[in-house]
Amino acid sequence: MNLILVTLATFLINIPFGYWRSNVRKKSLQWILAIHIPVPFVVFLRIYSEIGFAFYTYPIIVAAYFIGQFAGVRISKIRKQSGYFTTSCLVMDFYRSSKAD
């Protein structure tokens, strides 16, 4: 059960960072930060939930990490195609679009 929760949390943590990554220049400092800032959070989740660093957990957590990043990129692309103004902050973009409606 802990592995499922950590996997879900890893996925959800990475969505805003993937969104941020999609709105900055590739291989810039912000792009690198968008990829690497979530890592300490995932490590904390692994330790706090007591799943540890067993080998069988790596493929699951790494997959959730990258799927979360790609989901954020996809959300950004969908918002751009729908004509919404996008910045690098997913939360503020959703807040502004909810106030505009």
Count of domains for the chain: 1
Enclosing domain of residue 77: 2-100
User: Is pLDDT of 101 > 70?
Assistant: no
Which amino acid appears at position 99 of this protein? K
Q: What is the pLDDT of the chain when averaged over all its residues?
A: 93
User: Is pLDDT of 12 > 80?
Assistant: yes
49 — pLDDT class (breaks 50, 70, 90): very high
pLDDT of the residue at 16: 96
List, for residues 51-96, the tens digit of each pLDDT value. 999 999 999 999 999 999 999 999 999 999 998 888 889 888 889 8
* Cα separation values, 63 from 35, 88, 92, Å: 14, 23, 27
